[in-house]
Amino acid sequence: MTELYVDPGREAWEVFKSLPRDQPIHMLNLIRLRDRAAYPPGHPNHGKDISGREAYREYGRTIAPHLARLKSRQVWAGQPQVMVTGPASEAWDLAFIVEYPGSQAFIDMVRDPDYRANVVPHRTAAVADSRLLRLAPLEPGDKLGD
């Protein structure tokens, strides 16, 4: 069985926190959505017939004020079409990059009680699998990889 990822693992989170916090970072998000959202018991949307895509749209709406407050923004988004190189099982529904002024802004966001209570449940309900990759932005050169 393929391992699914929705939240960061403890070891990766410790590495993330150990890297410089005062430099801009980009976070590459690859998202595979559930067919139907899976809200937990007690959540107002529990048991409702909501698609994973609809739940993720709600996540997008609810995270927007947090990103704005942290001076962060989505800088790129794309609709994955086909996995040209790599396993077909690694097909994604959404791909996007969010820019943060530094990793401390990301840390502050994920520790924020409002974010945890009112934003995260939509993401968790929507996402079947994901990848989140911290990137150090580079200036594009004349050659790929420069």
Q: What is the mean pLDDT of residues 116-122?
A: 96
- Span 49-100, pLDDT tens digits: 999 999 999 999 999 999 999 999 999 999 999 999 998 888 899 999 999 9
**Contact assessment for residue 25 and residue 106, using Cβ atoms and an 8 Å cutoff:** yes
Nearest to 39 by CA among 52, 26, 57: 52
Question: What DSSP state is assigned to residue 52?
Answer: H
The structure tokens 């990822």 sit at: 5
For residues 29 and 125, what is the distance between their CA atoms, to the nearest angstrom? Answer: 16
Q: What is the mean pLDDT of residues 19-32?
A: 95
pLDDT tier at 23, thresholds 50, 70, 90: very high
**Contact assessment for residue 45 and residue 113, using Cβ atoms and an 8 Å cutoff:** no
Burial of 21 (0-12, 13-18, 19+ CB in 10 A): middle
Mean pLDDT, all residues of the chain:
92
pTM greater than the 0.85 cutoff: yes
pLDDT tier at 1, thresholds 50, 70, 90: very low
Domains for the chain: give ranges and CATH numbers: 23-135 (3.30.70.100)
pLDDT of residue 64: 97
